Amino acid sequence: MNKLKTLRKENNLTQEELAKKIGVNLRTLQKWENGESSIRTKNAKKLAKHFGVSVGYLLGYENHKDPVLSGVSSIDEILNEYHGKLNTDGEIDLKLYNEISNKLFASMGRIAFSTKSSQEIRKVENRFFSQSVNEIKKFHPDILKLDNANFLLNQHGFLAIEQFYKAIDMLPTEERELVVNYVTLKDEDRETVAKLTKSLSEKTLSNNT
């Protein structure tokens, strides 16, 4: 859950006052505070700047307020910091994964997932990570012969998540919420939705021919 309401009260602002300062209507702000809708990147950055905190803290993904501590360079630079730990056999330690993913994604497309729990977000990230790594192993098996194979595989997994978040952030609100709701469904429910949308798409195509 985001910390917008907490920050607003700490600064002795009414909802009306904050909405006016940020340039949004009152109902939109109320939906953000109640978790009824996600805060888009542009507005999240504006709010974070107004309160002098990091975007990650505003959205509830970081414990520190200082935006300087959240300023990250490129994804490659961050991953290179963990080269040794990522270039080991076996799955990445959960604590290490959380540390890296928070640095990489707290102020990116995770904003679109602000109405979802951290557990739901982790499941989505882990699924994309695993699928990406497995596809590289399948279609580019020679990578396993390299000395830094494990680092490259893990790097590819994180890059896949990054690209997903970037794509999410570019979508219009309705489509973005549709994708977010879909990817956080259980496996069997996603399969049901996929079959339904395919059927509807084929029906539309048939009607247009």
Residues 89 and 26 in one domain: no
| 69 vs 134, higher pLDDT | 134
- DSSP one-letter string for 21-90: HHT--HHHHHHHHHTSSPPPHHHHHHHHHHHT--HHHHHTS-S---GGGG----HHHHHHHTHHHHSSSS
Residues 86 and 20 in one domain: no
CA distance 192 to 198: 10
Residues 83 and 135 in one domain: yes
CA angle 172-120-176, nearest 5°?
5
DSSP designation for 93 = P
pLDDT range class, residue 71, cuts 50, 70, 90: very low
Query: What are 97-144's pLDDT values in tens digits?
Result: 877 877 776 555 666 787 788 789 889 999 999 999 999 899 888 888
Residues 19 and 82 in one domain: no
Residues 143 and 89 in one domain: yes
Residues 66 and 20 in one domain: yes
195 occurs within a structural domain: no
Mean pLDDT of 1-28: 93
pLDDT range class, residue 47, cuts 50, 70, 90: very high
Mean pLDDT of 77-94: 79
Query: What are 177-191's pLDDT values in tens digits?
Result: 899 999 999 999 999
Is 90 exceeded by the pLDDT of residue 159?
A: no
What per-residue confidence (pLDDT) applies to 84?
Answer: 84
121: Cβ contacts below 8 Å, ≥ 6 apart = 110, 113, 184
Residues 63 and 89 in one domain: no
**Domain span holding position 113:** 75-170
Residues 164 and 102 in one domain: yes
Residues 98 and 158 in one domain: yes
CA distance 39 to 113: 9
CATH value at residue 61: 1.10.260.40
CA distance 70 to 54: 6
* Other residues' Cβ atoms within 10 Å of the Cβ of residue 121: 19
Residues 87 and 166 in one domain: yes
What per-residue confidence (pLDDT) applies to 63?
Answer: 59
Residues 97 and 110 in one domain: yes
Q: What percent of the chain is predicted at pLDDT more than 70?
A: 87
Residues 87 and 128 in one domain: yes
Sign of the four-CA dihedral 149, 150, 151, 154:
positive
Number of domains in the chain: 2
Burial 83-103 (b: 16+ CB within 10 A, else e): eeebbeeeebeeeebeebbeb
Which tokens hold the place of 109? Answer: 């497309």
What per-residue confidence (pLDDT) applies to 74?
Answer: 58
